[in-house]
Amino acid sequence: MALSFAIVFVRDVRPFGPGDPRPRAVPGWLQAGLRLLGLIAVGWIVAQGIVGGASDGDVGVLFLWVFGWVGVALVSALVGPVWAWLDPFTTLFDAGAWIVRRLGIAGWAPAPYPARLGRAPAAAGYAAFVWLELIVTGGGGGRILVGAFLAYLALTLLGMAQFGRDAWRARAEVFSVWFGLLGRIAPIALAGIPDDGLVRRRSFGAGLLEPGWARADVALAALAVAAVLYDGLSQTQLWYDTVGLTGITGGTVTLAVFLGVAILLALGVARLVAGSSGPAIGIAAVGAGLVPIATGYIAGHYLTFLLIDGQKILIALGDPFLQGWNLGGLAFFTPNSAWLPPGLVWAVQLTAIVGGHMLGAVAGHAAAAEGLDARSKGALRSLRLRQLPLAVLMVALTATTLWSLGQSIVGVKPGG
């Protein structure tokens, strides 16, 4: 794990070549299909929440925790900005605005979004979703999850109405900001706003070096890394023996401390990396380093969750409204994991985590070296010294998560 940092310390590695800046149109049918899929997901979640009942075909769990929190995250990082059109909040807002215009109702001019907030509301919302998943619902669903989703839907639509759709979406809407942050890795990026329907190609990971990093982005990446670490560590025997706090109260306290320390540590390392180069360099370096690690952790910890629990969509299709139906004999389908050999699973986990670490090491170095005169030996020496805290942080994180994956699981829960 330390080898990747040793390499970038010895050589001034600048790995990302130029992409193709020419915009390309996303097919209209694909945009429309994704928008429709997002609306179906919202409608299905609400419908199940109204009629009640419990089933392995809970679409709240499937669409939010399995396909959303894991599936869309990985597609956003490895392929491109699928959420730009899948996003049901924007589609519902657009539909509501169209209805208001057709009725001849006069609207109001959106207020300016408070610039001082930046993307901090999205980071705070992400922390709230982590708490909901890991502590409140334990990765499950039911009325609590549906209620939380409806509350978030209402808050999002109100925020868009008050501050403007695009401003709220770009700075405060949790999923848009989070998937957009992961999308810095992807080889396909938006070329303009989603309404334009244009994308551009670039080198894999090149978006990590594009401008626009902020402290809230580093905090969000740190939250993502810490959340996965917490989920893994909290299921080990060592955690039970040393921490021992359980239940919603105990879990909330330990999670809050864990996430808070992670944010402070990441921002502290950013200041050390920046040195006299200015805070923007440190923020960009730590952000570019942590986002690939977060992606690797998501794939390493939750890919099997996606591949196995994701099969429960067949149960949902067999009993879509939790009424005891058995359409097509699917309601009693049992997810199959026999096709996933344990050795292959461990190999994928190891590759994802170490690969994310290596990409983060290279991207973090390249971001820290932005504007550096590669011919100056003194500048290179100073750069390497400033990157030591980042190297220590990243190697420690990767070693910890690999250790947690190798431990015996003492409690089985969805998403663990």
Query: How does pLDDT run across 299-309, given as a tens digit for each residue?
Result: 988 999 999 99
pTM for the complete prediction? 0.90
Max Cα distance, the chain (Å): 72
The pLDDT assigned to 399 comes to 76
338 vs 213, higher pLDDT: 213
| C-alpha span between 180 and 102 (Å, rounded) | 32
When the pLDDT of each residue in the chain is averaged and rounded to a whole number, the result is: 86
380 vs 340, higher pLDDT: 340
* % pLDDT > 70, the chain: 88
The pLDDT assigned to 55 comes to 78
pLDDT in tens, 358-372: 899 889 888 887 755
Mean pLDDT throughout 164-175?
96
pLDDT in tens, 114-165: 999 999 999 999 999 999 999 999 888 888 999 999 999 999 999 999 999 9
Pair 187, 208: CB distance under 8 Å: no
Which residue type is seen at 117? L
Can you name the residues that pair with 201 across neighbouring β-strands? 20, 188
> Would you say residue 377 has pLDDT above 60?
no
The pLDDT assigned to 410 comes to 38
How are strands ordered across the β-sheet holding 20-25? Answer: 20-25, 198-201, 188-190
The pLDDT assigned to 413 comes to 43
> Would you say residue 181 has pLDDT above 80?
yes
The pLDDT assigned to 83 comes to 98
Q: Count how many residues are written for the chain.
A: 416
> Would you say residue 394 has pLDDT above 50?
yes
The pLDDT assigned to 293 comes to 93
> Would you say residue 340 has pLDDT above 80?
yes
> Would you say residue 415 has pLDDT above 70?
no
Residues 6+ apart with CB under 8 A from 370: 209, 281, 284
Pair 113, 165: CB distance under 8 Å: no
With cut-offs at 50, 70 and 90, classify the pLDDT of residue 314: very high
Output the six-digit token pair for 356.
């994310």
Task: Rounding to the nearest 10 degrees, give the CA dihedral for residues 216, 255, 286, 238.
Answer: 180
Mean pLDDT throughout 285-295?
94
The pLDDT assigned to 11 comes to 52
Most confident of 225-234, 275-284, 390-399: 225-234
Q: How far from the centroid of its chain's Cα atoms is residue 72's Cα?
A: 8
With cut-offs at 50, 70 and 90, classify the pLDDT of residue 388: confident
> CB-based burial of residue 143 (10 Å sphere; 0-12 exposed, 13-18 middle, 19+ buried)?
middle
The pLDDT assigned to 385 comes to 59
pLDDT in tens, 49-104: 888 777 788 999 999 999 999 999 999 999 999 999 999 999 999 999 999 888 88
> CB-based burial of residue 332 (10 Å sphere; 0-12 exposed, 13-18 middle, 19+ buried)?
exposed
pLDDT in tens, 15-55: 666 777 889 999 999 999 999 999 999 999 999 988 877 77
Mean pLDDT throughout 263-270?
92
> Would you say residue 215 has pLDDT above 70?
yes
The pLDDT assigned to 93 comes to 96
What is the per-residue burial (b if ≥16 Cβ within 10 Å, else e) of 299-331? bbbbbbbbbebbbbbbbbbbbbbbeeeeeeebb
> Would you say residue 412 has pLDDT above 80?
no
> Would you say residue 260 has pLDDT above 90?
yes
Q: Which of 36-40, 224-228, 341-345 has the lowest mean pLDDT?
A: 341-345
> Would you say residue 386 has pLDDT above 70?
no
pLDDT in tens, 241-257: 788 777 889 999 999 99
DSSP for 56-93, written as a single string = TT-HHIIIIIIIIIIIIHHHHHHT--THHHH-HHHHHH
Mean pLDDT throughout 311-330?
92
Mean pLDDT throughout 274-284?
81
